[in-house]
């Protein structure tokens, strides 16, 4: 959609009640872990891990969808980002995460989806490069979307927020916030 709103906010990915789906920076087994996966699974409750058992394992660049359980969101979209310097080509695999997550959201007729900065925690992807991949992939994927109208990036620190905002301004076809 050409009028899709792309925004960057500081916050917790597990506390985005106005979003239809939140994206999990998952591990291959879709188990609770540290960082984003820990926050999402603890807010969703044990039912999420039970549902995820049937969907795992996933490979780098892959995305699967589950329900949101006790989260305020209808769905969780689980992406396995690349481990930087290990899963190659890292930039293509990271782009695949964003692209597939957006297409899955669209196939489920969702309007709003919130992403964390996939791969930039334990998986070691440099933030600035990751932000550029994220924004470019959103820009490239927008023409294929018919339902998704709000894409939110949820960053954990002021510094991360400013890096993502800067990357957003570098994609002229994204409206900004
Ligand atoms: P990965 O394993 O894909 O690197 P992580 O969960 O370790 O995923 O971290 C991804 C990014 O999300 C990091 O920048 C981290 O600071 C941030 N982060 C961690 N917890 C949260 C949270 N609850 N909400 C939003 N972002 C978070």
| HEC readout, the chain | CCCCEEEEEECCCCCCCCCCEEEEECCCCCCCCCHHHHHHHHHHCHHHHHHHHCCCCCCCCCEEEEECCCCCCCEEEEECCCCCCCCCCHHHHHHHHHHHHHHHHHHCCCCEEEECCCCCCCCCCCHHHHHHHHHHHHHHHHHHCCCCCEEEEEECCHHHHHHHHHHHHCCCCCCCC
Q: Say how many C-beta atoms besides its own lie within 10 A of residue 56's C-beta.
A: 16
pTM above 0.85, yes or no: yes
Is the Cβ atom of 36 under 6 angstroms away from ligand 1? yes
- Cα 169 to Cα 84: distance, rounded to the nearest angstrom: 25
Handedness of CA 165, 169, 170, 175 (dihedral sign): positive
Tell me the pLDDT of the chain (177 aa) as tens digits: 668 999 999 999 999 999 999 999 999 999 999 999 999 999 999 999 999 999 999 999 999 999 999 999 999 999 999 999 999 999 999 999 999 999 999 999 999 999 999 999 999 999 999 999 999 999 999 999 999 999 999 999 999 999 999 999 999 888 654
pLDDT in tens, 70-101: 999 999 999 999 999 999 999 999 999 999 99
Ligand 1 geometric centre to CA of 156 (Å): 7
What structural domains does the chain harbor?
5-175 (3.40.220.10)
Is the Cβ atom of 154 under 6 angstroms away from ligand 1? yes
112-115 and 150-155: which strand pairing?
parallel
Residues 6+ apart with CB under 8 A from 70: 43, 44, 45, 47
- Predicted local confidence at residue 1, as pLDDT: 64
- Predicted local confidence at residue 173, as pLDDT: 86
| Ligand 1 atom with least separation from CA of 157 | 16
Mutate to test the pocket of ligand 1, among 25, 29, 127 (most ligand atoms within 8 A of CB): 25
* Closest Cα to atom 5 of ligand 1: 121
């Amino acid at each position: 959609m050409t009028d899709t709103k792309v925004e960057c906010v500081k916050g917790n990915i597990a506390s985005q009640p106005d979003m239809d789906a939140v994206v999990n920076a998952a591990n291959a087994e879709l188990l609770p872990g540290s960082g984003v996966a820990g926050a999402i699974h603890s807010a969703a409750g044990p039912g999420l891990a039970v549902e995820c058992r049937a969907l795992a394992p996933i490979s780098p660049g892959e995305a699967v969808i589950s329900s949101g359980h006790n989260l305020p969101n209808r769905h969780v979209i689980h992406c396995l980002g690349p481990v930087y310097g290990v899963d190659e080509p890292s930039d293509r695999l990271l782009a695949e995460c964003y692209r597939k997550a957006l297409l899955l959201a669209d196939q489920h007729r969702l309007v709003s989806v919130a992403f964390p900065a996939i791969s930039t925690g334990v998986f070691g992807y440099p933030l600035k490069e990751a932000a550029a991949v994220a924004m470019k992939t959103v820009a490239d994927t927008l023409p294929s979307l018919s339902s998704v109208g709000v894409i939110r990036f949820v960053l954990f620190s002021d510094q991360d927020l400013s890096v993502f905002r800067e990357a957003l301004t570098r994609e002229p076809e994204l409206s900004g916030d």
